[in-house]
Chain A
Amino acid sequence: MFAWMGNIVIKNKNLKMRSGVTLMELMMSMLISSILLLIVGVLIVSSAKGWQQNYDLAHKPILEQAAVASLTFASVGRMSNRSDYIVYNGTGSTFVPVISATPGQDTVVSGNAVEFRYWDVNLDTTDSQNLMDVSKTGTAYALFYLHNGKLKVDYGHYPPGGVPAGGGNKNNSNIRTVTLAENASAAPGCGAFSHTMVSGAGKGCVRINIVLTDPNDNKTIRISNSVLLRNKWPQ
C-alpha cells in the first residue's frame, strides 16, 4: 500500500504542472454557476419587490391622504361649536343645508359637505377677544367638501363663514383651501358627511365616510370616523 502510494507520488513528481479545466468541468461549473445566479437573482428580485410592496403599504399616498383627512376632520371637529355646524349638499359651488324630513324622529341626514365653526383664538383671562359675546359662535370656519373627486377643506374667518345662512354660493375670498385627498368619493350607502338630527337640531356627533381610490392599482381605502362636538355656545 505504501509502495503504491509512493509510485503515484513519484509519477506526479515527473509531470509538468499545467493549469486548466476540461470541457466537462467547465460546463459543470457554468451550469452550477447559472443555477446559483438564477437563484440569487430570483431572491434579489423578489426581495426588491417585497421591499417595494412593504414600502408602498406603509407610505403610499392614498394611505397618507386617508390619515391626514381623518385626523384633520377629527381635530377641527373637536374644537368646534355644536350649536353652529351645518351639513350641506353641494352642487358645483352651491351648497344647501340638509335638514331632516322627519323632525320628530331621530333621523340620520347626510350630505357631501360639512361646515364647522370654531375658535382660532384663545379665551384669555380678560376675554380680550370678546368671545363671551353670545352672538359670536366662532371666529373661524372649516368647510369640508367633495369637489371633482377631491376632498377639500376651506379655512376662513367667521363671520361670514363658508356658506351664507340658508345656503348659496361658497365663499371664495380670504380663504385657504387645502386638498386633503385625491380620487375621493362618498362611501356607498351613506353620504360623505352625516349626523343625526332630531327636532331640528343636530346631536353633535358628525361622521365622515369617504372612499379613496388608488389610481395605480384601483385599490380603495375607506375613511370612516366620527367626532363629538362637546363645545356648545351660547349656553
Chain B
Amino acid sequence: MKRMIKNKSDKRGSVLVMVVVALMIMTAFGVGMLAIAYGTRQQAIKEKNENAALLAAEAGYEKAVFWMSQQQDMLTTLYNGSAGTSGTLNFTQASCNYNISFYSFVKARPVYRIISVGHSGPFDRTVNTLVMQAISGWAMGKCRIPTGATSTSAVNYVDGEIIDMPLQINKLIEGMDERDIYIIGDPQFLQPVSMGESRYTTGGADKYAGVMNLFQQGITFNQPDSRVVDEDTVQSKVNRFRDSTAAAYRFTPAVSGGMTNALPAVHLEFFVDTDNIGKVRITNNCTVKGFKQNYDSKTYDFKIVPGSDGSRYQRYDIYSYHVRPSDADATGQRVIRQIDQTYVTQSFGGVESTPGGQIYIDGNVIIGSAGDSDLPGNKNVVKDKVTVVATGNIWIANKIEVDGDHNVDGKPSSSNANVLGLISKGVIKVVDPGMSRNSPTYQNPYPGPPTSVPSDTVYVPVANRQSSSSNVYDRLLPHDMVIEAALTVGGGGWGAENVNRGSYGGRREFVNGQQDNLIVRGAITEACRGVVGVSGSGSEDGYLKYYYLDSRLLEGVLPGDFWLQGKYIPAPAGWHDYRN
C-alpha cells in the first residue's frame, strides 16, 4: 500500500501550476478592474460631492447676503457684535458654514467679506466673496405722491421722457396685481430698472408684457427693497453719522422768539474763495418762517408722519423766508470754515475710511447763498467732499454745483474729487423763491414779505434778486436749477415746494408761466415721490426734470456711508471659489 501511494506521488502534474498561474493573472486583472471601477466610482463621487459642496457654499453665500439685506446698518450690526453673522445650513448629504465680517473701507464705501464653506462627504468647497451695498441712481419707496393724510396718487413716466438713471422701486403691497411703476406712452429708460415686485400677478399674468421693450438696459424683479422706508434704518445711519462727526460740526439750532410758524435751521452757504479754497459759511440758530395750506386738498407739500411706517402723511410748513440773529458774527453763530476742517474718518476694527467732511444738524437746513450775498469767490459751489445730515428738512435755496472738471454732458468728470451729499429725515425740497414776495390772499394766506422781522434778527435773502426790481424780496431761482448732489430723503419725497394744486399755491418761475428745468446730477433716494412740477393745459407749474446719475458715487467718494439699498453685491474682483 505504501508503495502504491509512493508510485502515485511520483507523477509530475502541470495542471495545478497552470491553474495557479492563470488564477494569478486573472486575479491581477480582476484587481486592476476593481481598482479602475473603484477609481471611476470615486471620481464620480468626488464630482458629485464637489458639486454638492459648491452648491452648499453658494447657498451659504446667498443666505448671508439675504441676512445682510435685513439689517438696518451692517456696520452698526458688526460693531455691536449682533448674532447672525455666522450660521450653518444643512441639506441632504451636504452642509455649509458661513461667516460675515468687515473687510475694509474702499474710499468711504464699506466692503464686507462672506466666507462660506460647503461640505459634502470628504470634500469641501469655499466661496470667499467681498461684497458691498448696491447703489441705485434713483431709488424710491413707492412711485406715488402723497395727496392727503392717507391717500396717494401714482406718478407716471410719460411719453417723451428720458430717464437716464438706474431706477429702483420698492414693492408696494397694496394693489399687487398692478404695476408699481406707472407708465403712459413710451418713456425711455436708458439704465437698468430694478423692481421689488414680481413681474406676474397673483393669477400668473404678465403685468409687464406691454412695456418690456421700454427698458433698454433690462429690468429685474423681486429685488430687495431700499431701506429708506424703514425709519429705524435711517435713524441708525443718522446716529452713526452723528457720532462720527466732529463736535464742532454738530448743530442743534434754536428759533428766535417773536415769529409764528417758526422753524429752527442752520444756513449753509458753500463757496470757493478767491484763493480757490473750498469753504462753507455756517449760520446757526436761523429761524425759518413756515407756511402751510389749511386743507390737504390745496397742496402737494406733504411729508410722512413719523412712526406711520410710511402709510400716513401730513402737511408741513414750507419755507417762506428766514432770519438770522443780528449778532451772529459777533457771537460765533455765523462762521466760515474750510470744508476740509470738517473732515473725519469712520473707522471699524482699526480700519479707517478715506477722510471726508461731515456736518450734522439736529434740525432743519437751508442750503444756498443769495446771488447778492457778501461772500467772495464762486458762490453755491462745493469744493472738496462733504455730507450734510439733517434730522429735519433740507431746503435748497439756490443752485448747488461741485467745483472742478465736468464732462461735455455736464456731469462731473471721473477725476473730479468734489462731491456733496444731503441726507434728511424730513424732506429735501427746492424752495419757492416767490414766497418772500407773495402777499396773502384769500386762496393763499401766505405770510407776506419779511418787512417786519423779530427784534435782534435780520432777514437773510436767498436765491437771486430780480435784477429789474427795486423790491429786495423779489427773488428768483435760475431757469436751469442745477443740483449736483446725492440726495437721500427719509421722510418723504424730493421735489419743489408750493407747486400749484388746483387754484392753490403756485411757484414763481424764472419766466412767468414757463416751467423751469430741474437738473440733478447725482443720485436720489426717497421714501416716496415728491412733486416737482405739474403739467396740463394752462396749469403748468414747477419744473421739468432732467436727472443724471453721477457714477462717481458708486466708487465710494461720498463721505458717511449713507446708502440704503437692501441689496448686497459682489465687489469688483470680489468673487472667489476654490477647493479646500
Contact = CB atoms under 8 A, between A and B. Distances in A.
Do these two chains interact?
Answer: yes
Interface of A: 9, 12, 32-33, 36-37, 40, 43-44, 47-48, 50-51, 54-55, 57-58, 75, 78-79, 81, 103-105, 119, 121-123, 125-127, 129, 131-137, 139, 198-203, 230-235
A123 B106 contact: yes
Contact of B14 (A33, A40, A75, A119): A33
B33 A51 contact: yes
Contacts of B192: 201
A234 B551 contact: yes
B414 interface: yes
A54 B29 contact: no
A23 B123 CA distance: 67
Nearest to A19: B10
B445 interface: no
Interface in B535-572: 551-552, 554-556, 569-572
Interface in B399-429: 414
A-B pairs with lowest CB-CB distance, top 5 = A201-B218, A119-B573, A104-B213, A47-B29, A125-B104
B213 A54 contact: no
B13 to A, nearest CB: 10
Given A79-B573, A198-B212, A203-B218, 19 more contacts: A40-B19, A40-B26, A47-B30, A47-B33, A54-B40, A122-B573, A123-B573, A132-B106, A132-B555, A132-B572, A135-B414, A200-B216, A200-B217, A201-B192, A231-B569, A231-B572, A233-B572, A235-B166, A235-B569
Contacts of A231: 569-570, 572, 574-575
B241 to A, nearest CB: 22
Chain B interface residue number, banded? 35 or more
B365 to A, nearest CB: 29
A79 B575 contact: yes
A58 B219 CA distance: 45
B458 interface: no
Contacts of A137: 572
Contacts of B106: 123, 125, 127, 132
B22 A40 contact: yes
A51 B27 CA distance: 12
A231 to B, nearest CB: 4
Contact of A47 (B26, B39, B216): B26
A125 B574 contact: no
A192 B166 CA distance: 32
Contacts of A58: 36, 39-40, 43
B15 A33 contact: yes
A200 B3 contact: no
Nearest to A83: B192
19 contacts: A9-B3, A36-B15, A37-B18, A43-B22, A47-B33, A50-B29, A51-B33, A54-B37, A78-B577, A104-B212, A123-B572, A123-B574, A125-B106, A125-B351, A132-B554, A132-B571, A134-B554, A137-B572, A199-B214
A132 B111 CA distance: 11
B565 to A, nearest CB: 9
Contacts of A235: 134-135, 166, 554, 569
B109 A132 contact: yes
A199 B111 contact: no
B569 A198 contact: no
Contacts of A126: 104
Contacts of B337: none
Nearest to A199: B215
Interface in B188-212: 192, 209, 212
Interface string B87-106: 00000000000000001101
B576 interface: yes
Nearest to B215: A199
B53 to A, nearest CB: 14
Contacts of B103: 125
Nearest to A48: B29
A131 B572 contact: yes
A179 B214 CA distance: 41
A56 B574 CA distance: 40
A199 B39 contact: no
B312 interface: no
Contacts of A132: 106-107, 109, 554-556, 571-572
Contacts of B483: none
B84 interface: no
A30 to B, nearest CB: 11
B15, B26, B29 — which one has the most chain A CB atoms within 10 A of its CB? B29
Nearest to B44: A58
B440 interface: no
B513 interface: no
Interface in B91-132: 103-104, 106-107, 109, 111, 130
Given A37-B18, A132-B555, A12 B575 contact: no
A127 B556 CA distance: 11
B56 to A, nearest CB: 15
Nearest to A122: B573
A42 B148 CA distance: 95
A199 B575 contact: no
B218 A200 contact: yes
Contact of B33 (A9, A44, A54, A200): A54
A77 B372 CA distance: 59
Contacts of B104: 125-126
A81 B26 CA distance: 55
A36 B14 CA distance: 11
B184 interface: no
B25 interface: yes
A230 B572 CA distance: 11
B377 interface: no
A203 to B, nearest CB: 8
A79 B571 contact: no
B212 A44 contact: no
Given A133-B414, A199-B217, A44 B22 contact: yes
Contacts of A230: 569-570, 575
Contacts of A75: 577
Contacts of B43: 58
B32 interface: yes
A40 B18 contact: yes
B274 to A, nearest CB: 33
A83 to B, nearest CB: 8
Contacts of B25: 40, 44, 47
A60 B14 CA distance: 40
